[in-house]
Amino acid sequence: MISAPEEKKMQWKMFPTVILIFIGLNGCASIGPSTMGRDRFDYAMAISDSWKQQMLLNMVKLRYADAPVFLDVASVINQYGFQGTVGVSGSWFQNPANSLFSSSSQNVIAQGIYLDRPTITYSPLSGDKFARSLMTPIPPAAILSFLQAGYPVDAVLRLTVHAINGIHSRFGGSARTREADPEFYPLVQKLRNIQQSGEIGLRVKKNPNQTETLMVFSKKPNPALEAEREEVRKLLGLDPQTNEFSVVYGSVAAND
């Protein structure tokens, strides 16, 4: 038979173990907020890197006249779970033949399960909508927005346009490469010089029938750039007395 002091001593030995188990369960009771910062940045970085690799692969495919294939990440759902169990059991045995001899045993059982179940949904980009998105020209307003944001005008125009007022850039893959016209690179270089001085801008004018996108040269006199402006107007066939030019999509300009 267990004496009272021994039983009390045994209870005190089990007490720290039980306290630690309950502290652990309480700490994992709300695991969602603590994972938000880590998961958002990790998943954003992983999606960004995979999208860049996919884009680079498809650019190489287009270069060699191969069909591009895009697989978009439609959704990312991550589920967390924690399950824990605590069990305390004990037994006591006394020999009936000799009541002086007895035995006892105590068991403490703790078990925890942590679950991390990410669910990522992919959506292939295909069909008529995807084909139209590839063949649809980039809107002039989007190109000028890049210039307004400070992207180099020479790099933007080389990447996004085939021709400006009939002056062609270099475009096409290995199957149909077209070299740039001699006037193209001097034109974009002069536009770059004007852009670096802050003398070029974008304005959107909304009319009742349509929205007009304008490329604007500053009206302030600037002798250092006047020759550049005149040369740009001459190369593009623009009115030398005008500082605002409507930018539209088309192979050739309808007017000056």
Span 80-95, pLDDT tens digits:
777 777 777 766 666 6
Structural domain span for residue 80: 4-127
Q: What is the pLDDT of residues 29-62, one digit of tens each?
A: 566 677 777 888 888 999 999 999 999 998 888 7
Here the tokens at position 203 are 């304005």
Nearest to 119 by CA among 39, 38, 50, 34: 39
Please check whether residues 39 and 103 belong to one and the same domain. yes
Per the confidence metrics, is the pTM higher than 0.85? no
What are the Cα distances from residue 45, in Å, to 39, 40, 125, 240? 10, 8, 21, 49
Q: Are residue 221 and residue 193 in the same domain, yes or no?
A: yes
What is the reported pLDDT for 249? 86
Domain contains 77: yes
Count of structural domains, the chain: 2
Please list the pLDDT of the chain residue by residue as tens digits (256 residues): 444 454 444 444 555 555 555 555 555 456 667 777 788 888 899 999 999 999 999 888 877 778 888 888 988 888 877 777 777 776 666 666 655 555 666 677 777 777 788 889 988 887 777 777 777 888 888 888 888 888 898 899 888 888 888 888 888 766 677 888 899 999 999 889 888 888 787 777 777 777 778 888 887 777 888 888 888 888 888 888 888 888 888 877 777 7
Residue 63 covered by a domain:
yes
